[in-house]
Structure 1
Amino acid sequence: MAYQEFSPHPALRPYVACLWASQAAAGPSRHRVLPDNCVDILWQDSGAEPFAVGMMSAPIWVPTVRPVRTVAVRFKPAAASLFLGVPLHPLADTRAGLPELWGRGNVDRLNDALWQPGMTTAAQLRLVEAALLARLAGAGPVVPSLGAHAVAAIEASHGTVRIEQLAAALGVSRQHFSLRFRQQVGIAPKLFARICRFRQASALLVGPADVATVSARCGYFDQSHLIRDFHDFAGTTPDAWR
């Protein structure tokens, strides 16, 4: 499958990790998608409705039976609710049709424009950016949320910060912190931190470091905890991943 990422419009960069486009070839196939602590919106030329994909807690295999073109936006953690207009925790491990979130008329007009004959990927992404900029303008002044502050701290520590300490640093109880985090980010803070640490470990294992070294460097108590995360988030073992 051909896949390419693109930098977003400057005004969208605080909220959007990237825009992306892909083209799946003909013939039965499937590809694995891992949890990445992000929420995406996808538009496809298959005739299906555009949809938002919530935070994932496990890997999924996406089947393809015929050629499919996709253009999409990937939001940074804690940013998607600004554009979707809903709390994010009901979207975890599922998808929602975009008409339910943006309204049927708005979605149909954009989708029809995206798949006009002769549309280039660059032109399609400009249309997506225009729709996102309009949503951003309609949201009014943006104040960084508790979830955004927490995400920054968790990512800075590569998932090793203690949730109790983070809640205390933000001046709230752990229960209140967890509730607000799930609403604003989409999953529980401990799960978000585990995925963050797993992503660092999986990236390091592509290089020359061995499993024991990566386990220690990423702050795992022992290799069994690293193995568990690979089972949960990649459906494989660290050695097989290498």
Structure 2
Amino acid sequence: MYAERASRLEGAVVWTGDGSGRVLPDGCMDLLWNEGRLLVAGPDTRAHVTGGAPGTWVGLRFAPGAAPAFLGVPAHELRDRRVELSDLWPAWEVRRLRSRVAAASDPVKAVEDIALERASPPDPVLRALVAALDAGRPVAVTADEIGLGARQLHRRSLAAFGYGPKTLARILRLRRALALARAGVPFAETAARCGYSDQAHLARDVREFAGLPLGRLLAG
């Protein structure tokens, strides 16, 4: 069972579930609560598959690029990793936060409150970058529009998202394609509308990022 809603934190989502499933790359990072533990899910470059764990999982998924300012750690240091929050913050502070969530009548709200108290205002440059790439704008054109050189854009992307802007653009494009395919748009039309060279190009990206053929991924 999985449920989510928009968070009171701008651009974020809060969710609950059993922790099982195939989590696809999305340019985001999550703050997680499970069985008395606070963890961080770093940015994925491939599907993260898990069979679940005891108890209910609570998560807050930050907007793309927003989590590193909250955590005080560049995203690329957590790429494709799940780590204890105490590996990033002082142990005494994490113990206090764990006790706070454990004592709360609503752990979802408690995790959300922690994020709200410590989050920084959205970075307008990162927000513009994500919006442009999610709209299918080319990376080079986007860099010019937001006034960043190629090296500076790559450096900021690594720190904010865990990978460079081209990888982020591919991940966002794949998510747009999956939304269309799930809505019943034929695969060839989906590929064309999302800027893939052909359906085979879409299929290769699905296999790389999701680890399954497109048909099996949608069936699951």
Do the two structures share a fold, i.e. TM-score over 0.5? yes
Of the candidates 93, 117, 134, which is equivalent to residue 106 of structure 1?
93
Q: Per-residue deviation at 1:170?
A: 2.1
Deviation at 1:227, TM superposition (A): 0.8
2:4 corresponding residue in structure 1: 5
**Aligned equivalent of 2:125, options 146, 156, 172:** 146
Give the count of matched residue pairs: 218
Q: Distance in 1 between the 2:91 and 2:154 partners?
A: 33
**Which runs of 5 or more structure 1 residues have no equivalent in the other structure?**
25-29
Matches within 5 A, 1:1-242: 2-9=1-8, 12-13=9-10, 16-23=11-18, 31-45=21-35, 49-64=37-52, 67-116=54-103, 120=105, 123-136=106-119, 142=121, 144-155=123-134, 157=135, 160-242=136-218
CA contact (8 A) 1:201 1:218 kept: yes
- 8 Å CA contact retained: 1:110, 1:127: no
Report the 3-state secondary structure (helix = DSSP H, G, I; strand = E; otherwise coil) of the residue aligned with 1:102: coil
Distance 1:201-1:59 versus aligned 2 partners, 3 A rule: same
Structure-2 separation of matches of 1:218 and 1:72: 29
Q: Deviations over 1:180-235 (max 9, x none)?
A: 11112222111111111111111111233211111111111112210111101221
C-alpha contact (below 8 Å) 1:205/1:241 kept by paired residues:
no
**Is the alpha carbon distance of 1:152 and 1:209 closer, same or farther for their aligned partners in structure 2, counting shifts above 3 Å?**
closer
Q: Which amino acid aligns with 2:141?
A: Q
> In structure 1, what is the Cα distance between the partners aligned to 2:196 and 2:6?
33
Tell me, yes or no, if the aligned pair for 2:27 and 2:65 is still in contact at 8 Å. no
Q: Structure 2: how far apart are the matches of 1:181 and 1:146?
A: 11
TM-score (norm 2): 0.89
Distance in 2 (CA, whole Å) between partners of 1:100 and 1:237 is: 36
C-alpha spacing 1:239/1:8, structure 2 compared with 1 (3 Å):
closer
Task: Give the secondary structure class of the aligned counterpart of 1:187.
Answer: coil
Question: How many Å separate the matches in 2 of 1:110 and 1:237?
Answer: 41
- Which has the greater radius of gyration? 1
Contact residue 39 and residue 55 of structure 1 kept, 8 A: yes
- CA distance in 2: counterparts of 1:4 and 1:191, whole angstroms: 28
Q: 1:189 to 1:152 in 2, by over 3 A?
A: same
Displacement after TM superposition at 1:7 (Å):
2.7
